[in-house]
Structure 1
Amino acid sequence: MNANITLNPNRVVQYLCKSPEEFLKTDIIRFIKENGIRMVNFMYPADDNRLKTLNFVINSEDYLDSILTFGERVDGSSLFPFIEAGNSDLYVIPRYATAFVDPFAEVPTLSMLASFFDKEGNPLKSSPEYTLQKACHSFKDVTGMDFYAMGELEYYVISEDTGLFEATDQKGYHESAPYAKFNDFRMECMSLIAQVGGQIKYGHNEVGNFTIDGKIFEQNEIEFLPVPAKQAADHLMLAKWIIRTLAMKKGYDVTFAPKITEGKAGSGLHIHFKIMKDDKNMMIENGVLSDIAKKAIVGILENADAITAMGNKVPTSYFRLVPHQEAPTSICWGDRNRSVLVRVPLGWTGEKDMCSQANPLETPATTNPEKQTAELRSADCSADVYQLIAAMVVAAREGFEMGNALERADQLYVSVNIHSDENKAKLATLKGLPDSCEASAMKLAEKRNVFEKYDVFSPEMISGIIKKLESFKDGSLRKDISGNRKAMLDLVKKYWHCG
């Protein structure tokens, strides 16, 4: 048996001895019948970037076959503001490849993510999930390659302070117990995320770690493995649902908010990407970053200001995007440099074999793993992850359609911290990211043709995003409440559970 199936923690995969992409309706029905499953859930994201759930009791095999084949109707106007109440019915159809046993349900339940379809039976053009699918198809049509992505999901866990082994303020990076209090919680989250299909790379404590008013605030991160872009978005949606639900059961509060208090590290949602062709990573050529990678990076940089409209959807997003906070402000890229917007991290491209040096009995490896990625560092969890990754795919594709992409790559490259004295002249030549929802809306309006090209983003979706961002009326908010701690904390509280 394939070891990737044998070691897969998803019970459906283990039982059927198939990879999820091979699941058929008959497989789902067999699993349900042979494992005592009594309910089926359809789950799907709405405009607030949270998963919604529709429950079905299994009354008979005929009824089960019917819902798996034909889905069910839902009220689209209650899910998306751009759908009018007078013509709001949508169909939701399950995607068998996403099937998992609900780890929280008391009644044995099989859950699946579902897709939206219109009254004619066509995929809903303005659905975020279908938008990402269209983006990936257009990327492959233009480049002949596939876009893979992975997220770095940052969040805070908040609970009562025990007073024992207090952590060092803002020094929580990779901390261990007993100074880190929620390692076990994070590991339980990771185990459950893997059981529902998430492909996890690792987890750890992050920088944010402090105590206020008798409560511990501890920042954690779960990072995923690169997978096809649509799967990456699915994994992030399910992960947020798992983390919040498990926290509620344990009596913890959890927030993915980009800003949680004054003067402390906020949480981002960094998205890594790599370009694949015939199972080969195209980001590296002869041991150095490839022209393919540079073109994709430049496409994202040239449209980065508009991408914030998909990746930074609440006013507090822009209180995180300020200088000297390990969050980007200027549109540039660099290697291993956390002050830039797009970072190229270490990619196992060195000539020395590290394993045999650390373990002298091992035979040196003859080839390096193809792990090189590039990382967009601006987004946070207020994002609609399907829209965000779709926007990155579209922008990367634009890089391949630019005649001067490699020249722009040289112009936008920064070798050291962008805020250092030696980079003052360079900094003056770079564009900055928007400083508000209103400013992001304006940039998206200016560049909407990029995202609507090839019918990827629907005009209705773009107009809806712009309208929602403009409604915050936050164009001067950062300036208006500067130094006003109460106003800042009130704003943080308002968007505590965004996304």
Structure 2
Amino acid sequence: MPALTADWLRAHPQARTIRAAACDLNGVARGKRMPIPSAEKVLKDGTRFPMSVLNLDIWGEDIEDSPLVFETGDKDGQLFPTERGFVPMPWLDSPSALLPIWMFHEDGRPYEGDPRHALNRVAQRYKDKGLTPVVAVELEFFLIDDSSRKLQVPVSPKSGKRRQAAEILSIRALDAFDTFFTELYDACESMEIPADTAISEAGLGQFEINLVHVADPLRAADDAWLFKQLVKGLARRHGFAASFMAKPYEDYSGSGMHAHFSVLDAEGKNIFDDGGAKGTDALQHAIQGCLSALPDSALIFAPHANSYDRLVPGSHAPTSVCWAYENRTAAIRVPSGAPAARRIEHRVAGGDVNPYLALAAILGAALNGIEDGQMPPAPITGNAYDQKLDQMPGSWAEAIDRFENSPEIERIFAPTLIRNMLMTKKQEMRDMAELTPAEQVEIYLDTV
């Protein structure tokens, strides 16, 4: 792998600087800017920075009383390039490349507080059973003019006007920002992010882009993480913001990250496909696993104070613990279509999630269900918001409590990651309580 990435540097002599970056618990890229000679050294020897860096709060501050800071002398982890290798950074003015890295202990063991290792832990469980998840995500985001205190949709470069309305599946809304979306797709191609269809959504200046299914959950999460950085960076080059925060506008629906997945066996057959619309027992077992873990996983799917403004009845975001065939009011949806493509759509996560942790929670819960072999309750029909069903946690505090005391979560995540996540979110919840809603939006708008 290092030889291949060194080849990339030689094939792209225009690259002037490198960013070597890992993903922290909040999905923020943390790392170093370096000249090309230093990047070549990273390929061979890796780089180092404190383990605590992957466990900062949303402001980028240390977690108080974390054992990663003063208790251990704020010791370093060792970081090495992931199999992704270099990717260009088309949103920057000077030709640059990002080198994704992940953290290890000095003795070579994966650092269990690294979100990418959390997903790899789940992927390895599938591999040990001869199974391969095939994963795709749909990412919703807002284009926002944040040049004043009042957030609003940007002025269209086409018309010079500001369209103060949501336009679901509107070609006009897409065409109003045609230059931005054209550059975005070109950039996705250069970064090898498999961007598929784009649509306008129900929010003010809200859009969604689907990423193509890939038979590698780590690759799918890498794509989502890189895509979020790209969209936010490119929007700023166009003079406005792009935000994946869950709910920037009180009066409009929020943004989600819907995850679709099927599972292949060793022969490449979809284990959810029974040749018909119902799906196999394995599909039912995976659904039950997802349902069992849903309330306890809320902190992963709704990790921020603003996340809970999205999870309210009637807001196009699921609030009930239920599943259904072809029903978007349910948390777990089985889409219609060809039996060979039978899959689960997990609809709970907000756009503000860490993609590695979200996919680890989803796929880990599904595998728990496959292992346990339990059947789910009957699928619902009709509007889930109007039915008496078990509910997702309605507050950050409740989600933290459920996460902290969950045997389901202990089956999916390592103790180190659970501890770090709890300490981070408890500190953030305490400090966010001192801020106004407008101040919270200011924090989340660019960060998540």
* TM-score, length of structure 1 as denominator length: 0.77
Name the counterpart of 2:336: 346
In the alignment, structure 2 segments of 5+ residues that lack a partner are 56-62, 146-153
User: Which residue among 417, 439, 460 is the counterpart of 2:383?
Assistant: 417
**Cα distance change, pair 338–177 in 1 and its aligned pair in 2 (3 A):** same
Matched to 2:3, the amino acid is T
Name the counterpart of 1:84: 69
Contact 1:344–1:375, Cα closer than 8 Å, also in 2? yes
Name the counterpart of 1:181: 176
- Provide the C-alpha distance between the structure 1 equivalents of 2:135 and 2:162, rounded to a whole number of angstroms: 36
Matched to 1:224, the amino acid is L
Matched to 1:459, the amino acid is P
Name the counterpart of 1:73: 48
Name the counterpart of 1:321: 311
Matched to 1:74, the amino acid is F
Matches within 5 A, 1:199-214: 199-209=194-204
After TM superposition, give the deviation of residue 490 of structure 1 in Å: 5.1
In the alignment, structure 1 segments of 5+ residues that lack a partner are 1-23, 210-217, 350-369, 421-426, 478-485
- Provide the C-alpha distance between the structure 1 equivalents of 2:399 and 2:355, rounded to a whole number of angstroms: 17
User: Which residue among 238, 243, 250 is the counterpart of 1:262?
Assistant: 250
**Cα distance change, pair 273–95 in 1 and its aligned pair in 2 (3 A):** same
- Provide the C-alpha distance between the structure 1 equivalents of 2:367 and 2:12, rounded to a whole number of angstroms: 44
After TM superposition, give the deviation of residue 308 of structure 1 in Å: 1.2
- Provide the C-alpha distance between the structure 2 equivalents of 1:489 and 1:39, rounded to a whole number of angstroms: 36
- Provide the C-alpha distance between the structure 2 equivalents of 1:178 and 1:318, rounded to a whole number of angstroms: 28
Query: Are residues 1:153 and 2:139 paired?
Result: yes
Query: Are residues 1:438 and 2:397 paired?
Result: yes
Query: Are residues 1:496 and 2:445 paired?
Result: yes
- Provide the C-alpha distance between the structure 2 equivalents of 1:309 and 1:178, rounded to a whole number of angstroms: 33
After TM superposition, give the deviation of residue 315 of structure 1 in Å: 1.6
- Provide the C-alpha distance between the structure 1 equivalents of 2:20 and 2:175, rounded to a whole number of angstroms: 36
After TM superposition, give the deviation of residue 38 of structure 1 in Å: 4.4
Contact 1:247–1:254, Cα closer than 8 Å, also in 2? yes
Matches within 5 A, 1:48-447: 48-59=26-37, 65-80=40-55, 81=63, 82=66, 83-85=68-70, 86-141=73-128, 143-159=129-145, 160-161=154-155, 167=163, 169-170=165-166, 172-177=167-172, 181-209=176-204, 218-227=205-214, 228-277=216-265, 278-288=267-277, 289-349=279-339, 370-403=340-373, 405-406=374-375, 409=376, 411-420=377-386, 427-428=387-388, 430-447=389-406
Name whichever of 256-265 and 159-168 sits farther off. 159-168
* TM-score, length of structure 2 as denominator length: 0.86
Contact 2:155–2:163, Cα closer than 8 Å, also in 1? no
- Provide the C-alpha distance between the structure 2 equivalents of 1:49 and 1:144, rounded to a whole number of angstroms: 29
After TM superposition, give the deviation of residue 473 of structure 1 in Å: 5.0
After TM superposition, give the deviation of residue 201 of structure 1 in Å: 2.5
After TM superposition, give the deviation of residue 263 of structure 1 in Å: 1.6
- Provide the C-alpha distance between the structure 2 equivalents of 1:196 and 1:173, rounded to a whole number of angstroms: 28
- Provide the C-alpha distance between the structure 1 equivalents of 2:315 and 2:11, rounded to a whole number of angstroms: 53
- Provide the C-alpha distance between the structure 1 equivalents of 2:81 and 2:256, rounded to a whole number of angstroms: 30
- Provide the C-alpha distance between the structure 2 equivalents of 1:444 and 1:27, rounded to a whole number of angstroms: 41
- Provide the C-alpha distance between the structure 2 equivalents of 1:100 and 1:299, rounded to a whole number of angstroms: 35
Matched to 1:29, the amino acid is A
After TM superposition, give the deviation of residue 165 of structure 1 in Å: 6.9
- Provide the C-alpha distance between the structure 2 equivalents of 1:244 and 1:113, rounded to a whole number of angstroms: 18
- Provide the C-alpha distance between the structure 1 equivalents of 2:160 and 2:74, rounded to a whole number of angstroms: 58
- Provide the C-alpha distance between the structure 2 equivalents of 1:301 and 1:245, rounded to a whole number of angstroms: 36
Contact 1:98–1:197, Cα closer than 8 Å, also in 2? no
Matched to 1:173, the amino acid is I
- Provide the C-alpha distance between the structure 2 equivalents of 1:140 and 1:320, rounded to a whole number of angstroms: 35
Matched to 1:237, the amino acid is W
Matched to 1:45, the amino acid is C
Percent of counterpart pairs with the same letter?
23
Matched to 2:274, the amino acid is E
- Provide the C-alpha distance between the structure 2 equivalents of 1:186 and 1:274, rounded to a whole number of angstroms: 29
After TM superposition, give the deviation of residue 433 of structure 1 in Å: 0.1
After TM superposition, give the deviation of residue 432 of structure 1 in Å: 0.4
After TM superposition, give the deviation of residue 239 of structure 1 in Å: 0.4
- Provide the C-alpha distance between the structure 2 equivalents of 1:472 and 1:113, rounded to a whole number of angstroms: 26
Deviations 1:322-369 (A, max 9, x none): 1111111110001111110011122234xxxxxxxxxxxxxxxxxxxx
What SS does structure 2 have at the residue aligned with 1:375? strand
- Provide the C-alpha distance between the structure 2 equivalents of 1:103 and 1:161, rounded to a whole number of angstroms: 23
**Cα distance change, pair 473–35 in 1 and its aligned pair in 2 (3 A):** closer
Deviations 1:135-188 (A, max 9, x none): 1112333x4312222211111102444676775733x12211368522431332
Name the counterpart of 2:150: none
* Structure 1 vs Structure 2 CA RMSD: 2.5
**Cα distance change, pair 66–472 in 1 and its aligned pair in 2 (3 A):** closer
- In our comparison, the structure showing a higher alpha carbon Rg is 1
Query: Are residues 1:457 and 2:380 paired?
Result: no
**Cα distance change, pair 161–75 in 1 and its aligned pair in 2 (3 A):** same
Contact 1:438–1:469, Cα closer than 8 Å, also in 2? no
Contact 2:82–2:100, Cα closer than 8 Å, also in 1? yes
Query: Are residues 1:33 and 2:36 paired?
Result: no
Name the counterpart of 2:424: 468
- Provide the C-alpha distance between the structure 2 equivalents of 1:55 and 1:179, rounded to a whole number of angstroms: 35
After TM superposition, give the deviation of residue 107 of structure 1 in Å: 4.8
- Provide the C-alpha distance between the structure 1 equivalents of 2:252 and 2:173, rounded to a whole number of angstroms: 22
After TM superposition, give the deviation of residue 69 of structure 1 in Å: 1.6
